[in-house]
Amino acid sequence: MQRLRLNNNREIDILGLGTYQMRKEEVENAVNAAMKNGYRLYDTAQVYRNEGEVASGIRKTGIKREDVFITTKISTANQGYSAAKESLRESMKVMDEEYLDLVLIHWPGAEKVELDDPKNKELRHGTYEALIELQKEGVVKNIGVSNFMISHLRDLFEAFHERPQVNQIELSPICYPKEVVEFCQENGVVVQSYSTLGRGKLLSEEWAEKYPVLKRMKQKGDISAQILKWAMLKECAVIPKSKTPERIEQNFKALTAEISEEDVEGLDDFPVQERTCWDPNKIL
Ligand code: NAP
């Protein structure tokens, strides 16, 4: 497994398994297939409602806890110092874990707060303060943010001495915020890419017919591995989601996949730019 170095000198696997929209009953099979292939990093979140199944699925494989990396995320409903702390304790109870490897603030905004309300900033800073304390206690090994754009990161850097280890953002050929990646990397924050496969869109026959770069890549072999490799070449970690054992195996091949320079350029300048998730840019 290739790893990226974090700003606290720990490491993170460059490839892991995403679990968004993985139903409770699908998790065990997917985690088991992933472990067999060599995945050791698993990404869940309070809002995915599968934290417990992810943790128990991992335990059932018999792989030692210290060899596995588990991420969860504090939901928008639990923003703010006290709610974040309480909710994380609850997550750990549900997961039956004594520590977590990475906890992220899922989104810069808070539930039921208008996009332009300064309360968003106050609440997410409260959440971050809670994460710093939990990290000092050793309950959380690494802390980070998700969907933070440059303005949110600047605010955070001004308010806190402690930098987040990770920023998990939407990053794929159809959503490539190059300036955010550069800003994170200049400031020692590892970027973890989500929806790297455009939720599967980039792998479809329909898109291969429309976009020559995708057609060309498909003819060369596993296109999913090549697209993941595209992100990894930018020193970004990836967490492709699949509940399907064959696809989990295909995606793992990203570690050994090759992608031509022409195809890298084709994906860098992909003609479609559209988010699969909400746009965090407007959140104050
Ligand atoms: P993704 O990984 O780009 O795509 C997942 C979709 O692609 C699923 O429908 C999957 O189908 C399909 N797929 C995966 N590998 C495939 C392959 N080799 N061939 C064909 N189809 C394939 O999208 P994502 O789930 O949005 O993102 C990945 C992870 O990032 C999430 O699961 C989650 O852990 C995290 N995430 C975080 C945030 C955030 O706000 N922080 C937002 C979104 C996602 P099957 O499962 O049916 O096989």
What pLDDT is stored for residue 243 in this prediction?
98
For atom 34 of ligand 1, which residue has the closest CA?
18
For atom 27 of ligand 1, which residue has the closest CA?
195
Residue of 223, 272, 225, 229 lying closest to 215 (CA atoms)? 223
Kindly compute the dihedral angle of the four CA atoms of residues 185, 241, 174, 250, in this order, to the nearest 10 degrees: 100
pLDDT values of the chain reduced to their tens digit, one per residue, 284 residues: 999 999 999 999 999 999 999 999 999 999 999 999 999 999 999 999 999 999 999 999 999 999 999 999 999 999 999 999 999 999 999 999 999 999 999 999 999 999 999 999 999 999 999 999 999 999 999 999 999 999 999 999 999 999 999 999 999 999 999 999 999 999 999 999 999 999 999 999 999 999 999 999 999 999 999 999 999 999 999 999 999 999 999 999 999 999 999 999 999 999 999 999 899 999 99
Closest atom, ligand 1, to C-alpha of 194: 30
What pLDDT is stored for residue 220 in this prediction?
95
For atom 7 of ligand 1, which residue has the closest CA?
200
pTM: 0.98
CA distance 109 to 107: 5
What pLDDT is stored for residue 102 in this prediction?
98
Does any ligand 1 atom lie closer than 6 A to the CB of residue 243?
Answer: yes
Closest atom, ligand 1, to C-alpha of 241: 2
What pLDDT is stored for residue 34 in this prediction?
98
Does any ligand 1 atom lie closer than 6 A to the CB of residue 251?
Answer: yes
What pLDDT is stored for residue 254 in this prediction?
98
Kindly compute the dihedral angle of the four CA atoms of residues 151, 153, 158, 187, in this order, to the nearest 10 degrees: -120
What pLDDT is stored for residue 160 in this prediction?
98
Does any ligand 1 atom lie closer than 6 A to the CB of residue 76?
Answer: no
Q: Could you write out the DSSP letters of every residue in 112-157?
A: TS-TT-THHHHHHHHHHHHHHHHHHHTSEEEEEEES--HHHHHHHH
Q: Annotated active-site positions, please?
A: 48
Measured in Å, residue 198 CA sits from the centre of ligand 1 at 8
What pLDDT is stored for residue 206 in this prediction?
96
Closest atom, ligand 1, to C-alpha of 104: 41
Does any ligand 1 atom lie closer than 6 A to the CB of residue 34?
Answer: no
CA distance 101 to 87: 16
Pairing mode of beta strands 11-13, 3-5: antiparallel
Does any ligand 1 atom lie closer than 6 A to the CB of residue 19?
Answer: yes
Does any ligand 1 atom lie closer than 6 A to the CB of residue 147?
Answer: yes
**Domains of the chain with CATH codes:** 3-282 (3.20.20.100)
